[in-house]
Structure 1
Amino acid sequence: MPIKIPNNLPARKVLEAEGVMVMDEDRATRQDIRPLQIGLLNLMPNKERTETQFTRLIGATPLQVDLTLVRITDHQSKNTPQTHLESFYKTWDEVKHRKFDGFIITGAPIAHLEFEDVGYWDEMKEIMDWTRTNVHTTMFVCWGAQAALHYFHGVERFRRPKKAFGVYRHQAVAKASKYLLGFSDDFAIPVSRINDIDEASVPKNLEVLVSSSEVGLCLLDDAKNRQLFMLNHLEYDHRSLAEEYLRDKAAGLDIQPPINTFPNDDVTAEPLNRWRSHAYLLFGNWINQMYQTTEFDLDKIGQK
């Protein structure tokens, strides 16, 4: 089944060219099923790129998905035209009365700030609380995962002596997890973070699903509250790390090329994608579990 997104959303042309099935409103209303309602709170500055990355993975499911793009209510984006936001996004205030089968909260380029110093932290706390009552299952990504682990579980964060930047080998720790069906024992995942979490401060009720001997924890599961915490970036496309490197280098920052990204470490060569299959597996497993366990009546979500 395809994913339903607005006809004019820039991601649509990219996805159709890649063979991802998308549908318009008229076709969606003729489907005699209830589409899964998934929301994406996009905190990244380049919203068009991020929405393409996530819709690519969500749209690969055989189930019909109705995706709602969400943004912080009062935060002004410096990198995305206001017309794009007004055309395709709902503010948090506009969706907080709704129920969702799934909800994703992305990362944000604010690693230099303490959580409480983030301008929209109060709204973030409200949103995170809301996911416990209005969302069947939530996936927090990168900064979003660190923020949720800090807020819900008091997990401590520390600054790494050197940024973890590149493609690192990871291992499946909980091989029997429903979210890791089809995963290899060892696989590659893109990483881009200067902050890390203290593993010793992670409560025992959270299950570690994926970790790396090089860069630590990656994916954690809070089964009781139906929350996943992805600290890295399986959603990235093959050029994400390369473009981050070129952007920072052009800005005069002291940055080394991302490791294991460019063939033969040649920064002029086209990067290879070594994680695509596992990205599709994770999101496919997440959506499948969502479909198997969510309420048919959306209004009943959060009542148990």
Structure 2
Amino acid sequence: MPIKIPNNLPATNVLESENVFVMYDNRAYTQDIRPLKILLLNLMPTKIVTETQLLRLLGNTPLQVDIDFMYTATYEPTNTSPEHLIKFYETFNDVKSRRYDGMIITGAPVEQIPFEQVAYWDELCAIMEWSKTHVFSTLHICWGAQAGLYYHYGIPKYDLPQKMFGVFPHKRLCPKHDKLFRGFDDIFYVPHSRHTEIRRSDIEKVSQLCILSESSISGIGTVADMNNRRFFITGHSEYDPFTLKTEYDRDVAQGLPIQIPYNYYPNDDPSETPVVLWRGAANLLFSNWLNYYVYQETPFDLSKL
């Protein structure tokens, strides 16, 4: 949230040069305030787990947020009870007449399937097209980021020789110009769990895109469009402390080829309790998105989107 200061305070220039968000008296007194309307398109099979992870982060700000949940009508989830979906979720047909301050498109365990062969691909394309006129800012996560970059900009994904799995150090590439990472350390950590990647060389061909963060190990971290209306995040900052452990134990039990998650267990020993390195950065990421790119930018009257 901003610091409200008197007009023409001498400290203003210093604070703004340090990327501290300040608001003058005259703007603060004329602000209209209402709850933010956020749409969560949950593509994960374990919907309740994903809901909890994201709501925990979205709720960790002083902003009031109203959440609508959506799933794809063209694919019937098998890991979430129909009762839960009926009670809490809507489909695209239910929400398409509404407008939203922000939307989150989650990842999905379909990354090794060509986009066009995903069961709900046509519906997802319709939702992403609709978002251009009905959503102010959209946050795409993991496979959702790959799908968004492919749909909006034609950027392909590539299979990896082995799963990108663990907690990887990232660095900001434009700290003086990127409010999404305001308050972050020079090096911050993000969990990844994916079999495919996007590549810098493809993103650099698209003038409308900017790479905001990157890891020397896991590659591209965050991409944004030049209008800061779409953000594409390749990792899972929302993950709980034991999410990677659950995935690792599941794959081991099924006899699948899986390496120990990178930089996760002390001494790479799965019998040890995992160390959480990403919680602070995760909370800042979602707070900054809500504050700087949703709350501060969306028109008070959503019909003016």
Do both share a fold (TM > 0.5)?
yes
Residues 33 and 300, structure 2, Cα contact 8 Å, conserved in 1:
no
How many angstroms does 1:156 deviate by?
Answer: 1.9
Displacement of 1:154: 1.0
**Could you give the per-residue CA deviations for residues 225-266 of structure 1, whole angstroms, max 9, x where no partner exists?**
600000111111111111001111111211111111112222
SS across alignment from 1:293? coil
Match of 1:28 in 2: none
Check the 8 A contact 1:219/1:228 in 2, yes or no. Answer: yes
In structure 1, the residue matched to 2:89 is: 89
Shift of 1:292: 0.7
Q: Could you tell me which amino acid in structure 1 is paired with residue 236 of structure 2?
A: H
8 Å CA contact 1:187–1:275 kept in 2: the answer is yes
Deviation at 1:200, TM superposition (A): 1.0
1:270 maps to what in 2?
273
1:300 maps to: 304
Question: SS where residue 97 of structure 1 aligns?
Answer: coil
Name the structure 1 match of 2:240: 237
Q: Does 1:76 align with 2:76?
A: yes
* Equivalence for 1:17: none
Q: Counterpart of 1:35?
A: 35
Residues 59-117 of structure 1: CA deviation (Å, up to 9, x unaligned):
01111100111111231111111111111111111111110000000000001200000
Unaligned runs of 5+ in 2: 2-31
Q: Which residue does the alignment assign to 2:110?
A: 110
| Partners of 1:272 and 1:40 in 2: CA distance | 28
Compare 147-156 and 41-50 and name the one that shifted more.
147-156
Q: 1:283 aligns with which of 272, 286, 292?
A: 286
Following the alignment from structure 1 to structure 2, what is the Cα–Cα distance between the partners of residues 221 and 195? 19
Match of 2:225 in 1: 222
- Please state how far the C-alpha of 1:44 moved relative to its aligned partner: 0.2
Alignment of 1:1-304 (within 5 A): 33-176=33-176, 177-202=178-203, 203-224=206-227, 226-289=229-292, 290-301=294-305
Query: In structure 2, what residue type is equivalent to 1:253?
Result: L
Identity %: 47
Unaligned 5+ residue runs, structure 1?
Answer: 2-31
- Name the CA distance, whole Å, in 2 between partners of 1:200 and 1:33: 42
SS in 2 for 1:162: strand
Deviation larger for 152-161 or 117-126: 152-161
> Would the aligned equivalents of 1:217 and 1:231 in 2 still touch at CA under 8 Å?
yes
Which segment is superposed worse, 32-41 or 255-264? 32-41
Give, in whole Å, the separation in 1 of the partners of 2:252 and 2:96. 40
The one-letter amino acid paired with 1:201 is D
TM-score, normalised to structure 1, is: 0.87
Contact 2:74 2:119 in 1 (8 A): no
The residue matched to 2:171 in structure 1 has which SS? strand
SS in 1 for 2:262: coil
Deviates more, 1:55-64 or 1:261-270: 261-270
Segments of 4+ moved more than 6 angstroms = none
Q: Which moved more, 1:222-231 or 1:57-66?
A: 222-231
* 1:205 Cα offset (Å): 2.4
Q: Which structure would you say has the larger Rg?
A: 2
- Kept in 2, the 8 Å contact 1:132–1:225? The answer is no
Letter in 2 for 1:197: I
What CA RMSD, in Å, does the superposition of the two structures yield over aligned residues? 1.4
Task: Look up the equivalent residue of 1:135 and give its one-letter code.
Answer: V
Alpha-carbon distance in 2 for matches of 1:51, 1:169: 26
| Rounded Cα–Cα distance in structure 2 between residues aligned with 1:140 and 1:33 | 26
How many Å separate the matches in 2 of 1:47 and 1:116?
A: 23
